[in-house]
Structure 1
């Protein structure tokens, strides 16, 4: 290699090497700082496009999870109300049995009737309070109601459905039964209405339980699906931060060595001046 003051070949080689190291250092620093090996399209356009599609699916599944969680909540509230109502019907049965006692005085019968009306009032409270996120499956008219929830990103839905409005049924049953229960002879006719209501409540409980179970199972599946999708996304774009940190330290050392080499190369032309002394 000729000794020249016009072209410092050694410095050019050192500078080219330093540029390459600085470029790698920038990429590695970006991976360490962001935690991604593919943070944007400039890193890998194809992989980034795939990752963005997966991220969009995850966002869609988040909405599905929210809808199914609302379904779980409504199902649990409705089931709790129906359980409470079923228990109260058992208490009312006991009151009806007391009212069947022909030896009761008018005052005693009035006490039992008033107690029964209080229990009926509590049933009404359970029905009106069985509300979740503004929806109530029990406090409806005689035709009942249906609430739908999104089950997947394809738009499939699951439903919680009450085929009969329990509120209207309770009103009909107890208006015709309790208010007319004034003598022991009314026991049989009163029990017919109460038994019909009990059958309705039990049927609704089984129906809501089955529908709620379907929603819970679907929510569990979607939760697992989202977790698996996130793992797949991580494998696609996440950086191995420990490995990148080790690489970063190595590049920093190489950068310092190249800076020193460039400094030495830049000093070399000065040695030519000694020839003229």
Structure 2
């Protein structure tokens, strides 16, 4: 290699090596800082495009999860109200048994009758209060008897309904019969028959809501598992091994320092030629 003051070959070699190391250092630093092996299209356009599609699916699944959670909440609130109503029906049966006693005087009968009215009023309260996010499955006047929820990203839906039965109207019908049917001991069989019919409505609604809510809960669990699996797949595709990249970063930093020193030495070479003229 000729000694030249016009072309410093050693410096050019060191500079080229330094540029390469700086480029690798920038890439590795980006991986450590972002945590991604593929953070944008400049890292790997094909992988990034696939990753963006997967991220879009995850966002869509988040909406599905939200919808299913709303469905599960509505089902649970409705089931709680129906359980309370069922318990009240048992209390009303007990009061009817008291009213069947022919030995009651008018005052005693009035007390039991008032108790029944209070219990029916409480059923009405349970119906009106069984509201979740503005929806009430038990009363058509406060939200309707069927609500649909998104079950997956393809648009499949699941529905919670009371199989077309407006329980609030059934309570009203039952209440309207009370004054005419349940004031005398001889009307006990009629009273029990009406209550049994009402109880049948409640039981059928409870069974329907429980089954539909269970379906929503199962679908929610499946979607949650699906989202977790999708996130794992996305991580395998784009995540960086931060520990390995950190070790690489340190190695590149050492190489960078060595190349800077080599470039400094190479840049001093032309000066050594001046000693030939002293």
**Taking structure 1 as the reference length, what is the TM-score of the superposition?**
0.98
CA distance in 2, matches of 1:263, 1:134: 75
The change in CA–CA distance for 1:146 and 1:17 in structure 2 (over 3 A counts) is: same
CA distance in 1, matches of 2:183, 2:8: 117
The alpha carbon displacement at 1:179 in A equals 5.0
Partner residue, 2:80? 80
Are the aligned partners of 1:99 and 1:187 in contact in 2 as well (CA < 8 Å)?
A: yes
Alignment of 1:163-202 (within 5 A): 163-202=164-203
SS in 2 for 1:159: strand
Partner residue, 1:27? 27
Partner residue, 2:205? 204
Partner residue, 1:134? 134
SS in 2 for 1:186: helix
The change in CA–CA distance for 1:123 and 1:266 in structure 2 (over 3 A counts) is: same
Partner residue, 1:42? 42
Deviations 1:95-121 (A, max 9, x none): 000000011111111111111111111
CA distance in 1, matches of 2:136, 2:175: 21
Aligned residues: 275
Dislocated runs of 4+, deviation >6 Å: none
The alpha carbon displacement at 1:180 in A equals 3.4
Partner residue, 1:260? 261
SS in 2 for 1:257: helix
The alpha carbon displacement at 1:177 in A equals 2.5
CA distance in 2, matches of 1:250, 1:179: 94
Alignment of 1:12-161 (within 5 A): 12-140=12-140, 145-161=145-161
Are the aligned partners of 2:54 and 2:230 in contact in 1 as well (CA < 8 Å)?
A: yes
Partner residue, 1:214? 215
Unaligned runs of at least 5 residues, structure 1: none
The alpha carbon displacement at 1:268 in A equals 0.8
Select between 171-180 and 19-28 the one with higher mean Cα deviation. Answer: 171-180
CA distance in 2, matches of 1:39, 1:99: 77
The alpha carbon displacement at 1:140 in A equals 1.8
Deviations 1:40-87 (A, max 9, x none): 000000000000000000000100000000000000000000000000
SS in 1 for 2:102: coil
